[in-house]
Amino acid sequence: MRKDMEAGAEFTAKDYTDPPPAPLVDAEELTKWSLYRAVIAEFIATLLFLYITVATVIGYKHQSDPNVSGPDAACNGVGILGIAWAFGGMIFVLVYCTAGISGGHINPAVTFGLFLARKVSLIRALLYMIAQCLGAICGVGLVKAFQKAYYNRYGGGVNELSSGYSKGTGLAAEIIGTFVLVYTVFSATDPKRSARDSHVPWIFWVGPFIGAAIAAAYHQYILRAGAIKALGSFRSNA
């Protein structure tokens, strides 16, 4: 136990120091352009996210609608996996684009979790959540403007409880899903994950090559008895 603590202290002092918690209220932050730039980034990112994902959901509902006939019935849609690809792909792209500007929250739940962990101030958290909600409204508004007939027919692609599920089940599913999302965000953005042993990259080169050499020798000379065959061939030639 002591050895682990000593090792941890050694790497912590050498590689990484926890940043101080964000202040609850930082009035000076309101005078910085970086805050408003981040708020704009959250607004645009959430707008694009909702526009693409809601349009994808409406497209899937139209594709799977048994009442659709005529030319539209023969049109192939995204399928159920297309919805997953739309959500995952858009989050990947938007977080990549905005992580260095706003942190790439794109979700009030993520912002709220980071606020509770003192990663962002109260002012920044409130402005982010307002921008995210407005961006979501505008994104869905664009879907309605461009595809009004489909939007009205399929309820705007809104979330709803499937038949056979109670409100408690839906609430539990939302809690678990949001826990996984926010936990992933915390884990992915923790600098300690990559700080330890970052100064010894040779380990990650030498180790795999040694392991590969051992695996090749084990397969060739033990499992396939290559050494015995080679020895027998040598004796016959002698």
How many structural domains comprise the chain? 2
* Per-residue pLDDT at 62: 78
Same-domain check for residues 72 and 153: yes
pLDDT digits (tens, 9 = 90+) for 186-204: 888 877 766 555 566 777 7
Tell me the C-alpha to C-alpha distance, in Å, between residue 151 and each of 59, 145, 146, 147, 173. 10, 9, 9, 6, 26
Same-domain check for residues 38 and 135: yes
Q: Look up the CATH number of the domain holding residue 41.
A: 1.20.1080.10
pLDDT digits (tens, 9 = 90+) for 70-128: 555 555 666 778 888 999 999 999 999 998 999 999 999 999 999 999 999 999 999 99
In a domain, 105, yes or no: yes
In a domain, 183, yes or no: no
* 8 Å CB contact between 111 and 132: yes
* Per-residue pLDDT at 124: 94
Same-domain check for residues 44 and 148: yes
In a domain, 170, yes or no: no
* Per-residue pLDDT at 39: 96
Of the residues 124, 143, 159, the one at which a domain ends: 159
Same-domain check for residues 151 and 219: no
In a domain, 195, yes or no: no
Name the more confident of 74 and 162.
162
227 has a pLDDT exceeding 80: no
Count of beta carbons in the 10 Å neighbourhood of residue 88:
10
Structural element, H or E, at residue 13: helix 2-15
Same-domain check for residues 98 and 211: no
Residues shown for the chain:
238
pLDDT digits (tens, 9 = 90+) for 140-156: 999 999 988 888 888 88
Give the pLDDT band (50/70/90) at residue 3: very low
Same-domain check for residues 208 and 105: no
In a domain, 122, yes or no: yes
* 8 Å CB contact between 147 and 58: yes
In a domain, 12, yes or no: no
* Per-residue pLDDT at 53: 92
In a domain, 182, yes or no: no
Residue bearing tokens 């020798």:
217
Q: Average per-residue pLDDT in the chain?
A: 82
pLDDT digits (tens, 9 = 90+) for 41-64: 999 999 999 999 999 888 888 777
In a domain, 180, yes or no: no
Same-domain check for residues 25 and 137: yes
What the block records as the tokens of 21 is 């918690």
Of the residues 106, 135, 159, the one at which a domain ends: 159
CA–CA separation, 107 vs 7, rounded Å? Answer: 37
- In DSSP notation, 165-216 reads --HHHHHHHHHHHHHHHHHHHHHHT-THHHHTTTT-TTHHHHHHHHHHHHHH
Q: Structural domain of residue 23, as residue ranges?
A: 19-159
Same-domain check for residues 137 and 208: no
Secondary structure letter of residue 20 according to DSSP: P
Compute φ and ψ for 147, nearest 5 degrees: -135, 55
CA–CA separation, 133 vs 153, rounded Å? Answer: 24
